[in-house]
Amino acid sequence: MFTSNPFATLSGVISPEMMQGYIVLMVLLVMGGTILDMIHKKSAKYFFENAKKAQKSAKREVSGGEKVAMATSVLVKEVLTSGEFSNPRRRLSHLLTMWGTILFIVTTASMIFSPESTSTLLPQLWHIGALMLAVGGYWFWFAIRVDVSAEGLPWFRFERADLFILSLLATATFALAWSFTGGGLSVLFALFILSSTVLFGGVYWSKFAHMFFKPAAAFQKRVIMADGGRENLPPDYDLTDPEVQRKFPDVPMYMGKNPPNMGLCIKAERAKHY
Ligand code: HEM
């Protein structure tokens, strides 16, 4: 079952050209949705204006070589290994969801664009991708997302912001159920196509486009730290430094000459106030 290409069971009813046309349409919908999203939220405009403003408070110029090193580091840390998540459960769940989705999409396109292929590896990777996506996604939905893990809301409560994760989960679940029940034209196939159309057609309303915006934001964050601008935020002060104590005399007044480093307030306590 794992080694058979579920799309091959459709070839008598739906031509490979129609399936390829569907994939092209989904790519266009993602591109269109992302562009509309950028226009509507003015995110690209804000991003470039903010970058220009940040440049004004730069203390030094960041070289081209440094920028290449930063882009490589963003690719390795934030993009490929979800390094933005400091909570290991969130990171692992995101890694499973992200890599599962990529594997699932790439193998779907490969099988549909090479209908004569008899590879058993592609269907195996397709099933593994869908399973990884389902495991990471359901884990996120039932236990990790802030609504349930920190705000005590029930898992079955959802709103528009959940469109992305729910359409991802529905796509993976119906794809697996369709394949495990023998493929072909069936209700499960219709539900699989419906959910994937919502996933790729709903980019404008969902969090889908974060996968394009987050890397750009992570890169920009590195630039403002490297050029010393820090978006005009104050530096991390060493409270034991006499220079800092002269600048902020209330520090030694209330905390003594050798104040302890209390770390980030945000990490002082786990969010669980419900
Ligand atoms: C196929 C690619 C990807 C998939 C399927 C995916 C999936 C997800 C999902 C399901 C969430 C939770 C969304 C929610 O709160 O409902 C999420 C959040 C997040 N993703 Fe991704 N992601 C992908 C790519 C990326 C990339 C490339 C980055 C960063 C470079 C990234 C960074 C993040 C971050 C930082 C969050 C937390 C969002 C927040 O709370 O603001 N993701 N992702």
**CA torsion angle 64 38 166 173 (round to 10):** -60
Q: Residues 243-251: what's their mean pLDDT?
A: 93
Mean pLDDT of the chain: 92
**End-to-end Cα, the chain, rounded Å:** 46
C-alpha closest to that of 172 among 186, 144, 192: 192
Is residue 271's pLDDT more than 80?
Answer: no
pLDDT number for residue 50? 84
Rounded to the nearest angstrom, the gap between the alpha carbon of residue 250 and the centroid of all alpha carbons in its chain is 43
C-alpha closest to that of 211 among 199, 222, 195: 199
Q: What spacing in Å lies between the alpha carbon of 212 and ligand 1's midpoint?
A: 10
Q: Report yes or no on whether pTM surpasses 0.75.
A: yes
CB 55 within 8 A of CB 229: yes
Atom of ligand 1 nearest to the CA of 105: 1
Residue 8 is encoded by which pair of tokens? 């091959």
Alpha-carbon Rg for the chain in angstroms = 24
Q: What spacing in Å lies between the alpha carbon of 98 and ligand 1's midpoint?
A: 7
Residue 274: pLDDT band by 50, 70, 90 thresholds?
A: low
Q: What spacing in Å lies between the alpha carbon of 84 and ligand 1's midpoint?
A: 10
pLDDT number for residue 2? 83
Residue ranges covered by each domain of the chain = 6-230, 235-267
Is residue 268's pLDDT more than 80?
Answer: no
List pocket residues of ligand 1, CB cut-off 6 Å. Answer: 78-79, 84, 94, 97-98, 101-102, 145, 162, 164-165, 207, 210-211, 214-215, 218
pLDDT number for residue 236? 81
pLDDT number for residue 273? 61
